Amino acid sequence: MDLPEPPLFTGLFAVNGATRLYGTIGDPIRQLRLTGVMSQIFAAVGANAVWLPFEGGPALLPVMLEALGKMRNLGGFTVTIPHKSAILPLLDHVTRRAQAAGSVNLVKCEADGTLSGDMVDGAGFVAGLEAQGHRVRGASVWLVGFGGVGGAIAAALCEAGVGRLLVTELNATRADAGLDRLSRFYPDVPVASISADHPPKGIHYAINATPLGLRPDDPLSFDPMTLDPDAVIAEVIMSPVETPLLQRARMHGRRVHHGHHTLDYQIPLYLDWFGIDSKGVDVVRLARSIP
Amino acid sequence: MDLPEPPLFTGLFAVNGATRLYGTIGDPIRQLRLTGVMSQIFAAVGANAVWLPFEGGPALLPVMLEALGKMRNLGGFTVTIPHKSAILPLLDHVTRRAQAAGSVNLVKCEADGTLSGDMVDGAGFVAGLEAQGHRVRGASVWLVGFGGVGGAIAAALCEAGVGRLLVTELNATRADAGLDRLSRFYPDVPVASISADHPPKGIHYAINATPLGLRPDDPLSFDPMTLDPDAVIAEVIMSPVETPLLQRARMHGRRVHHGHHTLDYQIPLYLDWFGIDSKGVDVVRLARSIP
């Protein structure tokens, strides 16, 4: 009997009764790339585990969490739109950086049935910067966009010991709430809110954490040419790889940092959080090799 | 980078964000063979779907059902020990044969979030008998063992228009409850309870639906040699393939019917229930070819 040829690089799993389940809860979820990435990672580190799409909106979240803690072969999951903020108060334990970010993107089902949450969108961003030789400790950072991903990056920068953090956010309510959380969890880090019309001086890293750049005709969230010539211009948008912001910065000889690093460097954090030994496999390089 | 060679015949899935989830809820579940079988079936019929183990006991069941109806990419699941009876009152719709059996082994998540249950352990058994050329309509059947699987077979035999059904069950409470259900849902079928000490005459099919025969030193649940020479001796036990009952019957030239047919012939019923087109693939033959 002829079976259809399995497609390359989309995640080949050998599932049996002892397979542990991982996945992503979200809505929409059909575009999810992580199923393909994590299947290769699990295969490479020899884990009997599968990464699944769990498709559902706000009505699913509380009952799903109740169920997931009781499903013994569910190891954990990541959380995407629209659940990242809503899930936080529903968990049993939440890390300091996730509380400071006000959102969670990574949940582990503990052996006792409780659920622990972390936020590693920002930690992945910081790990990506550091891996490219960009030291964060003591640096001056301008963060443009202080919503979900911006809040996560801000918390991770504070945790990494940033010297000074300036944030720009048009939504004043959101900005105030975010600054309040940061000052509560990281009182020693100098944080201030500034307007994009008055670009700061002496900045080492300027980060676009707004959605501007997803579409080709979006305006820039800030003009990289107003910054010091040695400032690194960083992007959180993964697709397109080269946003208009990065294009303009690179065209004028500025140093740039691409958005895909943020996800690449989250993979080792996922494995750590789930207690899966990477067995020396370079999972960042492997993740990056998967289309 | 060298990825480990995927094992043969254990279920290779290409999972992406649009993959539909199916599986089995039970405890224990690590021995589950269906993950391997259904992965081959899904691949053969071109369904973007995966079959998973959902491991959990009685505490999981109600919250899991609440969650599963809200998870939009969960297509459905089968139910095994210890949930087959407990799940029945928790479902929104239950087929006649499942109500008559008092148990459910197959659940579909409907588009409106409700859950529909069926019991096809018995229907699979009857389909297997018929496929071997053993006509059930009008036949006289002796069913030994009237517990979970026996109750399911009894209901399926009644639905298939059996002429007369005799049941033998040592547990009187269980026997009474089962007979009561059958008479309620299939009042036109003559059903009676008899003792194994007085084997009936004129029987076409005698079925072992007790666990006797799982272990090599188990006593026989009945003696096949007391029956008419042309009676078919049928078994529900799948492993060992040749139980002492079937051995003894075959050794004396009697016709036998093996337990594995029951599961093999459930596969098309699963696909029908989930609304998956088998596209002309002989799924019974394929299921049987999988070790």
Which stretch of A141-145, A265-269, B7-11, B244-248 has the lowest confidence by average pLDDT? B7-11
Residue B4 placed within a domain: no
Phi, psi of A270 (to 5 degrees): -60, -50
Residues 7-36 of B with CB under 8 A from A: 7, 10-19, 21, 27, 29-33, 35-36
Q: Taking a C-beta distance cutoff of 8 angstroms, is the pair B268, B288 a contact?
A: no
Band of residue B243 on the pLDDT scale cut at 50, 70, 90: very high
- Give B 220-259 residues with CB within 8 A of chain A: none
Residue from A70, A84, A201, A279 carrying the catalytic annotation? A84
Nearest-by-CA chain A residue for B18 = A30
Name the region of B138 (left: φ>0; alpha: ψ -120 to 50; beta: rest).
left
What's the pLDDT at A8?
Answer: 35
Residues A152 and A142 in one domain: yes
Distance from CA of B72 to the nearest CA of A (A): 5
Return the pLDDT at B12: 54
User: What CATH number did the domain enclosing A283 receive?
Assistant: 3.40.50.10860
- A111 and chain B: CB distance < 8 Å anywhere? no
- For residue A19, give the nearest of B3, B53, B72 by CB distance: B53
- Residue A135: give its domain's CATH number: 3.40.50.720
Q: Is B84 designated active site?
A: yes
B52 — contact with chain A (CB < 8 Å)?
yes
The pLDDT of residue B270 is above 70: yes
**Count of A-B CB contacts under 8 Å:** 158
Q: Which helix (H) or strand (E) holds B31?
A: none
Q: A81 — contact with chain B (CB < 8 Å)? A: no
Q: For residue A31, which residues of chain B lie inside 8 Å, CB to CB?
A: 17
User: Cβ B15–A286 below 8 Å, yes or no?
Assistant: no
Question: At residue B49, does pLDDT exceed 70?
Answer: yes
User: B1 CB near a chain A CB, below 8 Å?
Assistant: yes
In this predicted structure, the answer to whether residue B135 has a pLDDT above a threshold of 60 is yes
A110 touches chain B (CB under 8 A): no
- The reply to whether B132 falls in a domain is yes
Domain extent, residue B110, equals: 20-120+267-289
Q: What is the pLDDT of residue B10?
A: 41
CB distance from A39 to chain B under 8 Å? yes
B1: in domain: no
pTM: 0.84
Average pLDDT of chain B to the nearest whole number: 91
Shortest distance between the Cα of B4 and any Cα of chain A, in A, equals 7
For residues B127 and B253, membership in a common domain is answered with yes
Q: Is B11 domain-assigned?
A: no
**What Cα–Cα distance (Å) separates residue A227 from each residue in A82, A163, A168, A201, A246?**
34, 18, 15, 7, 14
B42-47 long-range contacts, CB within 8 A, separation 24+: B42/B13, B42/B276, B43/A3, B43/A4, B43/A6, B43/B12, B44/A1, B44/A3, B44/A4, B44/B281, B44/B283, B44/B286, B45/B271, B45/B276, B45/B277, B45/B278, B45/B279, B45/B281, B45/B283, B46/A4, B46/B279, B47/B20, B47/B276
**pLDDT > 90: what percent of chain B?**
80
Mean predicted confidence (pLDDT) in B110-121 = 94
Q: Is the ipTM of this complex over 0.90?
A: no
The CA–CA distances, whole Å, from A170 to A192, A195, A224 equal: 14, 8, 18
Question: What is the per-residue pLDDT for A12?
Answer: 54
For the four alpha carbons of A198, A204, A208 and A209, in that order, the dihedral sign comes to: negative
B289 touches chain A (CB under 8 A): yes
Domain identity same for A227 and A138: yes
Structural domains of chain A, count: 2
| Claim to verify: residue B143 and residue B175 sit in the same structural domain | yes
- The answer to whether B141 and B166 have CB atoms below 8 angstroms apart is yes
Q: Positive or negative, the Cα torsion across A145, A147, A153, A158?
A: positive
Kindly give the confidence (pLDDT) of every residue in chain A, 291 residues in length, as a single tens digit, with 9 standing for 90 and above: 343 333 333 445 678 899 999 999 999 998 888 988 998 899 999 999 999 999 999 988 888 888 877 888 999 999 999 999 999 999 999 999 999 999 999 999 998 889 999 999 999 999 999 999 999 999 999 999 999 999 999 999 999 999 999 999 999 999 999 999 999 999 999 999 999 888 899 999 999 999 999 998 999 999 999 999 999 999 999 989 999 999 999 999 999 999 999 989 999 999 999 999 999 999 999 988 887
**Given A1, A15, A40, which is nearest B52 (Cβ)?**
A15
Strands B191-193 and B205-208: unpaired
Q: Do A246 and A277 fall within a single domain?
A: no
Q: How far apart are CA A92 and CA B251, in angstroms?
A: 62
Q: What is the pLDDT of residues B187-197, one digit of tens each?
A: 999 999 999 88
Q: Are residues A95 and A134 in the same domain?
A: no
Together in a domain, B129 and B220: yes
pLDDT on residue A143 = 98
| 8 A C-beta contact, residue B107 and residue B79 | yes
**Shortest CB distance from A13 goes to which of B1, B12, B54?**
B12
Distance CA B219, CA B241 (A): 17
Same domain, A241 and A271: no
